[in-house]
């Protein structure tokens, strides 16, 4: 059952949060969406839907693919921190397809982190995925930020300093 966001909501964005959210949104656009404006718009709309309609399933799965250390997890985890206990990250298919998945009862956002890389889990993808498929949104993450640990640390720190509150504000009014 939905309780509330994990960040403090205020009528006006948190002072200083704009810098943090700008860095995050820049990474979503240039890194996660590889500069594709249509992809970026779709991603922001998808995120806004999750923030504005916590009770409604989005009916579309976001699939990020790219090289190791390109920042796929950063995109999701920073957004997920808005949802607190309503976010779950799993690393194995049995955590979301097994009989004992009670942890998903309050889940709004599920991050399946490399859970289907194992050949034993290949059955999870039950349909052929195409770029135009309406059930999934494929995002080829750019390698531009690959292993840029300084950038990712600055991004996460700036989100800690009011960026998440500012992100909720932006997504609530989108």
Terminal Cα-to-Cα distance of the chain (whole angstroms): 24
Q: Chain-wide mean pLDDT for the chain?
A: 77
13, pLDDT greater than 50:
yes
- pLDDT given at position 123: 37
Q: Please report which helix (H) or strand (E) contains residue 66, including its range.
A: none
- pLDDT given at position 126: 37
Is 8 a member of any domain? Answer: no
Task: State pTM to two decimals.
Answer: 0.79
Tokens standing for residue 33: 């969406």
Q: Which domain holds residue 81?
A: 17-173
Confidence band of 8 (pLDDT split at 50, 70, 90): confident
Percent of the chain at pLDDT > 90 equals 27
Is 11 a member of any domain? Answer: no
Is 1 a member of any domain? Answer: no
Which residues have a Cβ under 8 Å from the Cβ of 64 and sit 6 or more positions away?
32, 72, 75, 76, 139, 141
What's the total number of domains in the chain?
1
Q: What is the pLDDT of residues 18-42, one digit of tens each?
A: 877 999 999 999 999 999 999 999 9
Is 5 a member of any domain? Answer: no
Place of tokens 């397809």: 97
- pLDDT given at position 115: 54
- pLDDT given at position 6: 67
Is 35 a member of any domain? Answer: yes
124, pLDDT greater than 50:
no
Is 12 a member of any domain? Answer: no
- The residue-averaged pLDDT of 79-105 equals 69
């Amino acid at each position: 059952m939905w309780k509330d966001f994990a960040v403090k909501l205020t009528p006006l964005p948190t002072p200083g949060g704009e810098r943090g959210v700008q860095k995050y949104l820049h990474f979503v656009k240039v890194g996660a969406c590889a500069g594709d404006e249509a992809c970026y718009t779709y991603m922001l709309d998808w995120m806004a839907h999750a923030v504005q309609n916590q009770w409604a399933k989005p009916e579309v799965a976001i699939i990020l693919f790219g090289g190791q250390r390109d920042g796929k997890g950063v995109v999701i985890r920073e957004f997920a921190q808005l949802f607190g206990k309503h976010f779950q990250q799993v690393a194995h298919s049995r955590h979301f397809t097994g009989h004992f998945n009670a942890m998903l009862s309050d889940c709004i956002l599920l991050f399946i982190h490399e859970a289907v890389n194992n050949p034993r889990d290949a059955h999870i993808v039950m349909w052929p995925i195409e770029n135009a498929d309406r059930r999934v949104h494929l995002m080829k993450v750019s390698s531009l930020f690959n292993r840029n640990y300084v950038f990712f640390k600055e991004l996460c720190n700036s989100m800690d300093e009011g960026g998440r509150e500012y992100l909720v504000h932006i997504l609530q009014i989108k």
